[in-house]
């Protein structure tokens, strides 16, 4: 028959685990603030497993490198700019293979060359689990040493893996929200900002310029004879041309560029000499240059008037 004291202790541990998952679940469900959710998850991991050092590594899918999104411990400050390639070290191996690594005794683990890493100085035991969402690895959670016991054990892995799943849910939610936001402010044809976002930015610039007394410039770029492209080659090619124009303009201009109408782009910019410089670089028509104090609708009206008064001429005129 089980010892009643041991049974009580086991029930207390189960209650503690349920409370842990409940708190993390509430954090994931109650906010879309990714940083706040991740901080809650890592804080709960720290409270429950008591690691001396811990880190959350995030995968950059463009570079296939991991960076330390969060870290705590004696050497955490030095990890801010560190990048880890897939397959490199424990975190890189876990992210590449999507499998857990448990090293109960570092002295008996020769695989990872831990003596070369300051992060593992004084390490006795290490556990690292992948953060996976929808079948792909998003990062890894790594713990070094534990103050509760001398070593991490197999019993620690389910708890850590479940918390890593919560982290994956938070990351996926944040990415979906970011993608939805991008779609609401992006023009489908050009991948530039759409009229809604441009109006917001222009109103904000007008307000700031009035309040702080600076001037900013707006360039309107009109594509001459664009209708002929659609009529001759079709709308698919016309859309491709718009996309290529947006792709070409983006790197040349360091502020906001977008498409408020079918074949027009405009750029709010705080640099006084931008219109002549940008016009020379881009080599397309910039018809109206309007100063602060005019409302958004009036800027568009002046652009339209200038466009139709002087059709078919590449020129830069200032208002």
Model pLDDT for residues 77-135, shown as the tens digit of each residue: 778 888 989 988 899 999 999 999 999 888 887 777 665 666 677 788 899 999 998 87
According to the model, what pLDDT value does residue 282 have? 37
Give how many domains the chain has, as a whole number. 2
When pLDDT is cut at 50, 70 and 90, the band that residue 315 belongs to is very low
Query: Which DSSP state fits 93?
Result: H
> Which of 164, 184, 204 marks a domain boundary?
184
Q: For the CA atoms of the chain, what is the radius of gyration?
A: 28
Distance of alpha carbon 108 from alpha carbon 106, whole angstroms: 5
> What torsion, rounded to 10 degrees, do the Cα atoms 86, 74, 117, 106 define?
-90
Residues 267 and 166 in one domain: no
Is residue 51 over pLDDT 80? yes
When pLDDT is cut at 50, 70 and 90, the band that residue 156 belongs to is confident
Residues 253 and 127 in one domain: no
SS3 317: strand
Contact at 8 Å (CB) between 196 and 184?
A: yes
Convert the pLDDT of each residue in 259-271 to its tens digit.
765 444 455 544 4
Backbone angles phi, psi at 187, to 5 degrees: -80, 130
Look at 97-106, 137-146, 289-298 and tell me which has the smallest mean pLDDT: 289-298
> Could you tell me which residues are beta bridge partners of residue 116?
none
Which run of H or E residues covers position 226? helix 226-233
According to the model, what pLDDT value does residue 289 have? 35
Residues 156 and 281 in one domain: no
Residues 150 and 239 in one domain: no
Block residue for tokens 């360091």: 254
The domain of 267 spans 193-318
Is residue 210 over pLDDT 80? yes
CATH number of the domain enclosing 303 = 3.30.70.270
Distance of alpha carbon 310 from alpha carbon 84, whole angstroms: 57
Residues 173 and 206 in one domain: no
Block residue for tokens 């910039």: 286
Q: Which residues of 36-74 are buried (b: 16+ CB within 10 A; e: fewer)?
A: ebbebbbebbeebbebbbbbbbbbeeeeebbbbbbbebe
Residues 19 and 80 in one domain: yes
Total residue count of the chain as it appears in this document? 319
Residues 200 and 167 in one domain: no
Is residue 248 over pLDDT 90? no
List, edge to edge, every strand of the sheet that includes 285-289: 193-194, 258-261, 264-269, 217-222, 285-289, 316-318
According to the model, what pLDDT value does residue 1 have? 53
Residues 215 and 166 in one domain: no
CATH number of the domain enclosing 172 = 3.30.450.40
Residues 125 and 210 in one domain: no
Backbone angles phi, psi at 316, to 5 degrees: -120, 115
Residues 306 and 271 in one domain: yes
> Which of 121, 154, 184 marks a domain boundary?
184
Angle at 176 between CA 175 and CA 182, to 5 degrees: 90
Token duo for residue 235: 């709308």
Contact at 8 Å (CB) between 296 and 202?
A: yes
When pLDDT is cut at 50, 70 and 90, the band that residue 49 belongs to is confident
Residue 219 has a CB neighbour count (10 Å cut-off) of 27
According to the model, what pLDDT value does residue 102 have? 92
Distance of alpha carbon 147 from alpha carbon 155, whole angstroms: 16
């Amino acid at each position: 028959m089980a010892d009643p004291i041991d049974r009580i202790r086991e029930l207390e541990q189960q209650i503690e685990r349920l409370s842990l998952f409940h708190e993390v679940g509430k954090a994931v469900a109650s906010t879309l603030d990714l940083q706040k959710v991740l901080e809650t998850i890592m804080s709960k991991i720290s409270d429950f497993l008591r690691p001396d050092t811990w880190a959350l590594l995030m995968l950059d899918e463009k570079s296939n490198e991991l960076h330390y999104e969060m870290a705590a411990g004696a050497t955490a400050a030095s990890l801010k700019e560190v990048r880890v390639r897939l397959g490199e070290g424990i975190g890189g191996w876990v992210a590449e293979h999507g499998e857990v690594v448990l090293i109960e005794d570092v002295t008996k683990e020769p695989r990872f060359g831990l003596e070369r890493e300051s992060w593992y100085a004084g390490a006795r035991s290490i556990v690292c689990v992948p953060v996976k969402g929808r079948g792909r690895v998003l990062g890894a959670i790594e713990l070094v040493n534990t103050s509760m016991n001398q070593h991490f054990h197999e019993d620690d892995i389910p708890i850590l893996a479940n918390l890593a799943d919560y982290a994956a849910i938070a990351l996926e939610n944040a990415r979906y929200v970011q993608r939805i936001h991008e779609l609401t402010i992006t023009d489908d044809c050009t991948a530039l900002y759409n009229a809604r976002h441009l109006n917001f930015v222009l109103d904000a610039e007008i307000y700031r310029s009035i309040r702080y007394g600076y001037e900013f410039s707006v360039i309107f770029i009109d594509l001459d004879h664009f209708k002929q492209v659609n009529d001759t080659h079709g709308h698919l090619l016309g859309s491709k041309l718009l996309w290529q124009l947006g792709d070409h303009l983006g790197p040349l201009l360091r502020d906001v560029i977008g498409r408020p109408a079918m074949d027009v782009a405009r750029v709010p910019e705080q640099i006084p000499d931008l219109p002549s410089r940008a016009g020379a670089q881009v080599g397309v028509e910039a018809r109206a240059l309007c100063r602060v104090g005019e409302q958004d609708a009036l800027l568009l009206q002046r652009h339209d008037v200038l466009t139709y008064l002087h059709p078919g001429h590449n020129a830069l005129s200032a208002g």
